[in-house]
């Protein structure tokens, strides 16, 4: 029997989940839930219902896993614990500093209602976290490095768009090759923020805006840009739409460590992602963990979990026998 999926929130991530379901024969999209008027929302899957979020309780027994596709700032801290009462849930909560608190909130509700919740699923947190854990467990004496990009940072693009005189903008985070090569050489370098990444901005100005002033405001923006070497390109809106409307991303997780009685041998573990579509890749990870959540609940498990708590075999539609015969 298929795993019946509900999608809560139909933005880039929700649409990505819909696409990922299409690629997995054991998954089925039951319904999409939206805060908009459902009659104004059209989905790609003929067989799926589109419902207002207020009607979600009617789906309590018709959805095996609800995938929460809202944002981490305000949606997920409320939604995940709310829906864990009546559904198995998955989210991609990515505010790293608030994960312990979010975990505690969701765990209490999920346990009390015998549901499985898996939070912070995606690639960072998610696949990158897994690679940090595996790397540290295997090479306990070593150094961790995470680089992001080349890719679009939504938060940084938004920050530019809030500047007076900016009509539209896209920001790319770019890892610095020399830093990556230094890590790969085994020298265990320590980096300043500026030494790891550069930031490249493509900006469309409002009519009559002062380019020099906007550029200065971007480059000196605290937290977002001041600690980085930042390049600003002013382009037309047509060029922005033609060349910068994708949402690529990716990055690198490296663990550099030593083994041997006298620590005489060096080792490097490197994991990297090159993603044409950040939300679609994140969605693909969400669907794999939705499969795990459904299985775990059928086994009688409950509570909040993260990617650290899920045995890899639960992610695959294949049986243990098939996996051992084909992938081990």
Query: Which residues bind to its own copies, rule: CB under 8 A?
Result: 16, 18-20, 22-24, 44, 96, 99-100, 103, 120, 125, 127, 129-134, 136-141, 184, 259-261, 264-277, 280-281, 283-285, 288, 291, 306-313, 315-317, 320-321, 323-325, 327-328
Reduced to 3 states (helix: H, G, I; strand: E, B; else coil), residue 307 is helix
Inter-residue contact 48 to 30 (CB < 8 Å): yes
| Phi, psi angle pair for 323, to nearest 5° | -65, -45
Reduced to 3 states (helix: H, G, I; strand: E, B; else coil), residue 171 is strand
Between the two ends of the chain, the Cα-to-Cα distance in Å is: 27
CB of 8 to its own copies, least distance (A): 20
Residue with structure tokens 């809030």?
A: 162
The residue (of 137 and 212) whose beta carbon lies closer to its own copies is 137
The residue (of 234 and 314) whose beta carbon lies closer to its own copies is 314
Question: Which of 21, 3, 23 lies closest to 87 in space, CA to CA?
Answer: 3
Residue with structure tokens 């041998």?
A: 265
CB of 20 to its own copies, least distance (A): 7
The residue (of 111 and 267) whose beta carbon lies closer to its own copies is 267
CB of 218 to its own copies, least distance (A): 29
* Strand 249-259 versus strand 142-148 pairing type: antiparallel
CB of 203 to its own copies, least distance (A): 25
The residue (of 102 and 197) whose beta carbon lies closer to its own copies is 102
Cα 55 from chain centre: 27
CB of 3 to its own copies, least distance (A): 14
CB of 310 to its own copies, least distance (A): 6
The residue (of 80 and 284) whose beta carbon lies closer to its own copies is 284
The residue (of 132 and 199) whose beta carbon lies closer to its own copies is 132
The residue (of 62 and 263) whose beta carbon lies closer to its own copies is 263
CB of 138 to its own copies, least distance (A): 5
CB of 13 to its own copies, least distance (A): 12
| Structure-derived torsion over alpha carbons of residues 29, 33, 37, 39, reported in degrees to the nearest 10 | 10
d(CA 3, CA 15): 18
CB of 58 to its own copies, least distance (A): 27
The residue (of 139 and 203) whose beta carbon lies closer to its own copies is 139
The residue (of 83 and 128) whose beta carbon lies closer to its own copies is 128
252 φψ region: left (φ > 0), alpha (ψ -120 to 50), beta (else): beta
The burial class, CB within 10 Å (0-12 / 13-18 / 19+), for 170 is: buried
Residue with structure tokens 């979600």?
A: 56
Question: Which of 287, 260, 281, 251 lies closest to 132 in space, CA to CA?
Answer: 251
Inter-residue contact 7 to 279 (CB < 8 Å): no
Reduced to 3 states (helix: H, G, I; strand: E, B; else coil), residue 263 is coil
């Amino acid at each position: 029997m298929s795993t019946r999926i509900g999608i809560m929130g139909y933005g880039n991530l929700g649409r990505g989940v819909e696409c990922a379901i299409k690629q997995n024969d054991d998954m089925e999209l039951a319904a999409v839930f939206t805060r908009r008027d459902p009659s104004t929302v059209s989905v790609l899957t003929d067989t799926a219902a589109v419902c207002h979020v207020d009607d979600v309780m009617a789906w309590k027994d018709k959805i095996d896993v609800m995938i929460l596709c809202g944002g981490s700032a305000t949606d997920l801290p409320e939604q995940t614990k709310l829906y864990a009462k009546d559904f198995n849930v998955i989210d991609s909560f990515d505010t790293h500093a608030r994960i312990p608190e979010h975990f505690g909130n969701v765990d209490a509700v999920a346990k009390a209602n015998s549901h499985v919740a898996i939070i912070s699923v995606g690639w960072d947190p998610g696949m990158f976290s897994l690679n940090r854990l595996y790397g540290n467990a295997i090479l306990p004496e070593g150094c961790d490095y995470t680089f992001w990009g080349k890719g679009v940072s939504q938060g940084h693009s938004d920050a530019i768009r809030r500047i007076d005189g900016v009509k539209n903008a896209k920001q790319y985070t770019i890892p610095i090759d020399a830093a990556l090569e230094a890590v790969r050489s085994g020298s265990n370098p320590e980096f300043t923020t500026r030494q790891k990444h550069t930031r490249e901005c493509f900006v469309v100005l409002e009519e009559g805006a002062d380019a020099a002033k906007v550029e200065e405001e971007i480059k000196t923006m605290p937290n977002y840009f001041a600690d980085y070497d930042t390049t600003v390109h002013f382009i037309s809106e047509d060029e922005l739409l033609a060349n910068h409307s994708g949402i690529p991303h990716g990055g690198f997780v490296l663990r550099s460590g030593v083994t041997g009685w006298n620590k005489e041998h060096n080792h490097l573990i490197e994991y990297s992602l090159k993603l044409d579509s950040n939300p679609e890749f994140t969605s693909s990870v969400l669907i794999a963990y939705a499969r795990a959540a459904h299985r775990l609940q059928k086994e009688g498990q409950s509570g909040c979990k993260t990617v650290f708590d899920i045995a890899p075999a639960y992610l695959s539609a294949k049986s243990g026998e098939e996996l051992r015969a084909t992938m081990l």
